[in-house]
Amino acid sequence: MVQSSVLGFPRIGAQRELKKITEAYWSKKASVEELLAKGKEIRAHNWKLQQAAGVDVIASNDFSFYDQVLDLSLLFNVIPDRYTKFDLAPIDVLFAMGRGLQRKATETEAAVDVTALEMVKWFDSNYHYVRPTFSHSTEFKLNSAAGLKPVVEYLEAKELGVETRPVVVGPISYLYLGKADKDSLDLDPISLLDKFLPVYKSLLAELYSAGAKTVQIDEPILVLDLPENVQKLYKGAFEQLTGEGLPEIVLTTYFGDVRPNLSAIKNLPVSGLHFDFARAPEQFDEVVAAVSDSQTLSVGVVDGRNIWKTDYTKASALVNKAIEKLGKDRVVVATSSSLLHTPVDLANESKLDPVIADWFQFATQKLDAVVAIAKDVSGEDVADLYAANAKSIKARQESSITTNPEVQKRMATINESLSTRSSPFPERLAAQKEKYNLPLFPTTTIGSFPQTKDIRINRNKFTKGTITKEEYEQFINQEIETVIRFQEEIGLDVLVHGEPERNDMVQYFGEQLQGYAFTTNGWVQSYGSRYVRPPIIVGDVSRPKAMSVKESVYAQSLTKLPVKGMLTGPVTCLRWSFPRDDVSQKVQSLQLGLALRDEVQDLEAAGITVIQVDEPAIREGLPLRSGQERSDYLNWAAQSFRVATSGVVNSTQIHSHFCYSDLDPNHIKALDADVVSIEFSKKDDANYIREFSDYPNHIGLGLFDIHSPRIPSKEEFVTRIEEILKVYPADKFWVNPDCGLKTRGWEETKASLTNMVDAAKEFRAKY
């Protein structure tokens, strides 16, 4: 009997229970007991669900209140000193590291003011992990203050009658994905491996004592370009982690092709290897050949990153190929990665067109997929399931929803001149200076203002039909006016309308574009309690009518200062959607570029002549390995942006925005935007700033962290700007926050922005 295996299940709950309880806890509306109880309830539900579906290998420790990598930092005591001096409960230390903590002293609690640790993309997914931060004083030990999470959760499942396989990020990946703290910049985290392994091993021993026979160790960095010294660490490390009193190990890799690092994992003393064949089927022959005689192969065929129905026949064919080589006992049918990256349950989508819904599988449906394929290759009769599956696959292939001849005709018109501004930047800059006459250190924001409860209530009322379209629009206009007046009052130079009408920066446009489908409950965790509901690209994309002009024009009518039009760029629309898997991402991106080009031109024609086209997702789309695929990606990504933005006159100022640091200035250069803003507040690296000082156009380096509720003082802004000015020219300098302010409250937004503008004014006076 071939076993079925799921590498991890979404932890957010089918109705976002996790978000609701954590946010209630943060705002002191729920107790720590209620928080922990809800976590337990979600875990129990997920295990039972998988058990009922017939999944053989079910993961535990795939749950987290914030992030699974951050959990390890707490567990292994990788806690920078600044979080330990307040005597916080373990869960609060976790949240402080994840999102920062600022609170005033009360009778029972001391004042706390700490920033969050850096948060970065989890490979090329839209999930973010909190970066482990090491220093010379890092002292690895099992931190049992709140119990050993993997052990606690393993036992919890066991008590429910579910035998699970605990999952833990592997020791080499954990170190490699971390960074050195400010005070220890000469430290290479990977050099800590020898110190770390004994502690990691003691965790495995604890799991074994608790009864865990096998542990899933994720080493996702094996799909990256790994330096040779890191590749060489695997053998020794895993030799240390196996033996008497320790569980067997299944080493898992996902999100790509491991072949360049295959020598690192050949003949490791692990009992099984897992590979992602949904993403990288081309590695099949070589990686299967590398499985040693005593090892099992976990065949990742059910895509953990997308929502398309698995083609059962194709999947079975691949698994059978593995069985031919290894025999049924040594092959496991698995999801390609954790299902964390897919929505929880398609059954919650009552509004989706049933024709289209039949093409999808969400996490819950993927359980059935893994089980069906395992049964089929075991020789059980699942003919009905396979016939139904084949019918859906064929229906999608033949559907007229997926193709639009008009769009395809227009795609043929894309050429160099369509994707190039009519003049180089210096000429555009002159025209823009004349038009706007902005001061030095111009101030602006990235676009969104707080999405208050009031906004959500009114949007809900409108969706449910309890208020009319007119009433809703009137409400939105009032919100826009509030945001405009506020920005005028504190002295910002380039205003925004605040985006009260937008639920999400991609979904909002997706809902107005043809070729998209969207869900009502298809949430996926992005970070912490922030979830996104990615729309789904199902066919050729086009824009039937203007999407954002009305709100921008209204905002501009209220003020003499320039109001930025706000759009989401083609690559970000693509990356933050579930893309089609039947045409290339390049084609989808260029189609989006054309659709947005129409919007940019409509905005310009309506008098909105500062236009920001956000591309925060360009970085995350970067193929994980260098080489041809990466340079091709960068070419079509930049071209898509330029297709969208090159149809305007010189005096129209095109802005763009990028979330997350670790950007290569060259990638941004190719977009040729007049002004770019990038997240920057957590960067302390003068070399990095210097790289950007060579950037030919203008840049706003983000000055404060919008993921955290803490309020930087004016002095903090001044110090930060002074630091940057040591290596960065003043005449290219824009002053802005890291990112949009939608997740923040008004109080902290007002205070932070006021301090930011005051700091800018101080520099303006000086220069």
- Please report, as ranges, the residues that interact with Zn ion according to CB under 5 A: 616, 659, 739
- Helix (H), strand (E), coil (C) string for 108-133: CCCCEEECCCCEEECCCCCCEEECCE
Question: Taking Cα atoms as reference points, which of 217, 60, 272 lies closest to residue 148?
Answer: 60
Closer residue to Zn ion in complex, CB, 301/706: 706
Minimum distance from residue 739 beta carbon to Zn ion (Å): 3
| Cβ-Cβ contacts under 8 Å for 280 (sequence gap 6 or more) | 223, 256, 257, 258
**Cα separations (Å) of 447 from 497, 558, 573?**
7, 17, 16
User: Is 320 within any annotated ligand binding site?
Assistant: no
Closer residue to Zn ion in complex, CB, 288/739: 739
Calpha distance 185→626 (Å, rounded):
25
Closer residue to Zn ion in complex, CB, 230/739: 739
Calpha distance 105→3 (Å, rounded):
55
Phi, psi of 276 (to 5 degrees): -95, 100
Question: Taking Cα atoms as reference points, which of 496, 532, 522, 514 lies closest to residue 598?
Answer: 514
Closer residue to Zn ion in complex, CB, 49/659: 659
Calpha distance 71→512 (Å, rounded):
39
Closer residue to Zn ion in complex, CB, 316/572: 572
User: Is 448 within any annotated ligand binding site?
Assistant: yes
Burial (CB count within 10 angstroms: exposed 0-12, middle 13-18, buried 19+), residue 92? middle
Closer residue to Zn ion in complex, CB, 580/619: 619
Closer residue to Zn ion in complex, CB, 9/449: 449
Closer residue to Zn ion in complex, CB, 197/659: 659
Place of tokens 């933050």: 576
Phi, psi of 79 (to 5 degrees): -125, 110
| Cβ-Cβ contacts under 8 Å for 65 (sequence gap 6 or more) | 18, 22, 35, 39, 71, 91, 94, 95
Calpha distance 135→604 (Å, rounded):
51
User: Is 126 within any annotated ligand binding site?
Assistant: yes
User: Is 499 within any annotated ligand binding site?
Assistant: yes
Minimum distance from residue 334 beta carbon to Zn ion (Å): 34
Question: Taking Cα atoms as reference points, which of 728, 763, 732, 709 lies closest to residue 114?
Answer: 709
Minimum distance from residue 682 beta carbon to Zn ion (Å): 13
Minimum distance from residue 659 beta carbon to Zn ion (Å): 3
Minimum distance from residue 428 beta carbon to Zn ion (Å): 24
Q: Across-strand partners of 657?
A: 677
User: Is 399 within any annotated ligand binding site?
Assistant: no
Please provide the distance, in angstroms rounded to a whole number, between the alpha carbons at the two ends of the chain.
75
User: Is 109 within any annotated ligand binding site?
Assistant: no
Positive/negative CA dihedral, 288, 291, 296, 302: negative
Minimum distance from residue 677 beta carbon to Zn ion (Å): 8
| Cβ-Cβ contacts under 8 Å for 436 (sequence gap 6 or more) | 494, 562, 610, 653
- Helix (H), strand (E), coil (C) string for 402-446: HCCHHHHHHHCCCCCHHHCCCCCHHHHHHHHHHHHCCCCCCEECC
Closer residue to Zn ion in complex, CB, 128/543: 128
User: Is 607 within any annotated ligand binding site?
Assistant: no
Minimum distance from residue 707 beta carbon to Zn ion (Å): 10
User: Is 679 within any annotated ligand binding site?
Assistant: yes
Question: Taking Cα atoms as reference points, which of 525, 496, 522, 527 lies closest to residue 511?
Answer: 522
Place of tokens 């069906």: 372
Minimum distance from residue 740 beta carbon to Zn ion (Å): 6
C-alpha gyration radius of the chain: 26
User: Is 698 within any annotated ligand binding site?
Assistant: no
The catalytic residue positions are 707
- Helix (H), strand (E), coil (C) string for 327-356: CHHHEEEEECCCHHHCCCCHHHCCCCCHHH
Per-residue buried b or exposed e for 450-484, using 16+ beta carbons within 10 Å of the residue's own CB: bbeeebeebbeebeeeebeeeebbebbbebbbebb
Minimum distance from residue 616 beta carbon to Zn ion (Å): 5
Calpha distance 336→373 (Å, rounded):
13
Question: Taking Cα atoms as reference points, which of 111, 13, 115 lies closest to residue 65?
Answer: 13
| DSSP labels, 20-41 | HHHHHHHTTSS-HHHHHHHHHH
Closer residue to Zn ion in complex, CB, 59/483: 483
The type of residue at 322 is A
| Cβ-Cβ contacts under 8 Å for 466 (sequence gap 6 or more) | none
Minimum distance from residue 725 beta carbon to Zn ion (Å): 23
As annotated, the binding site for 5-methyltetrahydropteroyltri-L-glutamate includes: 19, 126, 576
As annotated, the binding site for Zn(2+) includes: 657, 659, 679, 739
As annotated, the binding site for L-homocysteine includes: 446-448, 614
As annotated, the binding site for L-methionine includes: 446-448, 499, 614
As annotated, the binding site includes: 19, 126, 446-448, 499, 576, 614, 657, 659, 679, 739
